[in-house]
Each structure stands twice: as C-alpha cells, then as structure tokens.
Amino acid sequence: MLLIADILENKERILQGLHKRGLDSPEEVIEKVLNLDTQRKETKTNLDRTLAESNGISKQIGQLMRQGEHEKAEAIKKKTAELRTSGKELQHQLSDIESTLKTLLYQIPNVPHQRVPEGSRAEDNAVLEECERLPVLSDSKKPHWDLIKDYDIIDFDLGNKVTGAGFPVYKGKGARLQRALINFFLDEAIKAGYAEIQPPIVINEASGYGTGQLPDKEGQMYHVQNEDFYLIPTAEVPITNLYREVILSEADLPVKHVGYTPCFRREAGSWGAHVRGLNRLHQFDKVEIVQIALPSRSYEVLEEMLQHVVGLLKKLDLPYRILNLCGGDLGFTAALTYDLEVYSAAQEQWLEVSSVSNFETYQANRLKLRYKSEGKKTTLLHTLNGSALALPRIMAAILENNQKEGGIKIPEVLWEYAGFKEI
C-alpha cells in the first residue's frame, strides 16, 4: 500500500510509475486519495477541537459543583451534551473517510522501480542473461506429458478422478524425485543462511490483505467460506505475515526464511501446449525464500536472492534465462521483479520457474512491519521473496531435457536425495 506522505512528496514520480504500469487515468485516483486525506485531516482537527472543548467544559462543571454554584453548572451542561453529539457525528464521519481512503489505497498497485522497463506485454520484458547453448534432442523427443505415461511416474487421470483437472498424482520414482527436489532446495537455502519455517497452508483475511493477495487476487485463491479462510497461493503469504504488526531492531536484520508448502491457484489457464501437463496446475509444490531487509540494502539483497536461484539452476544443469519484467507485466505488489525461465528442449519453449521480487515498503505498510534503530523513530522495512524453486516446470524440464533411449537421466546433484540415477 502506498504511503500518503510519499504521494504528497513525490506525486509526479508516482504518477509516472503508475503510467508505466499502463493504468488508465492514475491522476484521478491520486487526486481522490489526496482529497480524502485532506478531508480526513480537517475532520480529525474538528473532532479533536470538539473533544477538547467538551473536556474543558466538563472540568468547569466539576469546579462549579464543588464551589456550590449548581445553577451555573446546570446552565452549561446543555452545551456539553451538544458537543458530545457533535463529537459522535465527527467520529462517524472520520471512520467513513478513513475506510474509504484505505479501500482506495488497496486498489492502487506498487510504483515500479526506475529499472523496470517500459512495456505492456510479456514480449516487452528485458532479457538480462541467457544461456548461449541450448540442448538439442533427437527427432524422437517427447514432451513430459508423454514421458510420464511411458514411465508411469505422474498420473493426471487419477488426479482428475480424485479431485479434478490440474491436480496430478505423483507415483513411484516421480514422487521420490519430487521429494528429492524439495529437500535439495531446502538444504541449499539453509546453507545460504535461511531459517526453515513450516507455515500453515490456510490463511485468514488479514493475512491476505497484509501481503496484497486481497483484494487484487481474490478470484485466484480457493476460499473456505464457512471459516472465511483462503488456501495459500505461495508460502510468501504466511511467512511474511509472521511479522505483521512487529517492530524489529536493526540487530534482527536481515530476516531470512525458507519454507516448503503446497500452493493452490484457481486459474489453471486456457487450452494449449503452454498450459498442458505440468506447465500450469491448480495445486503444486514450491520452496519459497523470504527476506525482510533495511531499505538501504534491499536491492543488494534482491541481487543476492537472484544469484541463489541461479545457483540452483546451474547445479541442476538446466539452461536458464533472466528477465526484468516490464511495467505492464509486473505483479500488483512488486516494485521490481526478475523472472527466471528454464528451456524445455522437447517443447522448444521457455518455462517460468521463479520470480524474485522486491516490494519495498508496499507490503510492510499494510503489515505495519517496522524497525527501530537506536535512538530513532520506527521506520517501515522492505520485504522480498522468491521461488527457489517452483517444482512442476522444473520437473518437466528435467524429464524432457534428460531423456534418452530407454530412460531419463537424473541430475547428479539429486542422486543422493532420490536414491536412484535414472528412470
């Protein structure tokens, strides 16, 4: 959520950033925010003045009563009643204004960092790095949705029987490979200084608002109506919300957490090869890294997180590329996002496997997540997260890129974790 103080001080920069996102008429929205803020301040001033006057008269009545001047005290009691009524009306007005203002601020996305490129489509994303040599397979190559049937390791029909489309069943060596990847990703993050968290996979509404899934992505999450809970779209949500309404000290920073969870998303996409098989699911496994950092260091931390993910892809021997997302493709809450994609040699396309993002103060403002340095006032922190990694497309790329006559090779780094070298 944007800070009103920042809007007042940097209005033109914020408008330019919102235009970069492709928002229609952000000037009208920002002007409405500023007008509501002015009304809020004026109403708060009137309320404070009314309450002060009421308190002053109440003290005066008490003094008159103690002095035995009951007639004078009774004469000004009517004024006190009028002020109390006026105070209640002003308090109601202030609550309405603050609620309207907060709702409006929730609807405004984060302002892109200056390094975010212009553009409105995925094609406008800037390629920062790309592997020069891509794997080339034989003419008999198969996509993973055929390979998993050949080797009976993932079953979409059984998942459809038990639940529905987009909920696969992992079997035998497919299940063991999935578990191997999860443990490998967790161990690598722990070596890098991340403390492991096993969070709930169901969140309340406050948590959804805290990290910005609500109200922006309400239609993409599974909703448990009776309890008003949501199934998580990523471990970022519960892990970051552990620090909602928390004040940290500089000595606590940076906070580094890693967590594995199942993830749930309602939008499984349209028809076509780009969403077939493991390419897009309703339920999938993911290991997420989260950091909370000082504002002065957050972009240094972002680069560190990016290189951590790159290191995982190198150890899996997967060809990758790094994208800097353009304004129109940037997530609602992010200030800057790097996407990492791996190349699928059988599908002959790039598959997104990770997003590493800096949200600056956008989530922290919603969460009231702050730090206090010695002798100074509290200041909002910066939050960051990244997929390290999302498993379905990693699994797809491993199966496709390592297929050979009669089997599929497993990356050497996973041999000990999986307990086998090939399928």
Q: What DSSP line would sit under 38-76, residue for residue?
A: HHHHHHHHHHHHHHHHHHHHHHHHHHHHHTT-HHHHHHH
| Closest by CA position to 369, among listed 382, 359, 356 | 382
Rounded Cα distance, 234 and 262, in Å: 8
Q: Which pair of structure tokens corresponds to residue 333?
A: 């809450």
Instruction: Give domain limits for the chain.
Output: 4-106, 122-418
Rounded Cα distance, 371 and 378, in Å: 5
CATH 1.10.287 fits 4-106, yes or no: yes
| Closest by CA position to 122, among listed 306, 321, 281, 310 | 321
Rounded Cα distance, 418 and 402, in Å: 16
Helical pair 26-66 and 11-20, crossing angle rounded to 10 deg:
140
**pLDDT at residue number 272:** 56
Which residues, 6+ apart, have CB-to-CB distance to 255 below 8 Å? 243, 248, 290, 291, 292, 293
For residue range 148-191, what is the model confidence (pLDDT) as tens digits?
Answer: 999 999 999 999 999 999 999 999 999 999 999 999 999 999 99
| Closest by CA position to 408, among listed 152, 179, 182 | 152
Q: What DSSP line would sit under 256-309, residue for residue?
A: EEEEEEEEE-S----SSGGGSGGGS-SEEEEEEEEEEE-GGGHHHHHHHHHHHH
One-letter amino acid for residue 286 of the chain: K
Give average pLDDT by consecutive 10-residue segment, the chain, 423 residues.
Answer: 96 97 95 98 96 86 78 77 92 97 97 97 97 92 97 98 96 98 98 98 97 90 95 98 97 97 80 78 97 98 98 98 98 98 96 98 98 86 98 98 96 98 98
Q: Which pair of structure tokens corresponds to residue 192?
A: 């890098």
Pure H helices in 368-411: 391-401
For residue range 191-219, what is the model confidence (pLDDT) as tens digits?
Answer: 999 999 999 999 999 999 999 999 988 88
Domain 122-418 fold: BirA Bifunctional Protein; domain 2 (3.30.930)
Which residues, 6+ apart, have CB-to-CB distance to 60 below 8 Å? 76
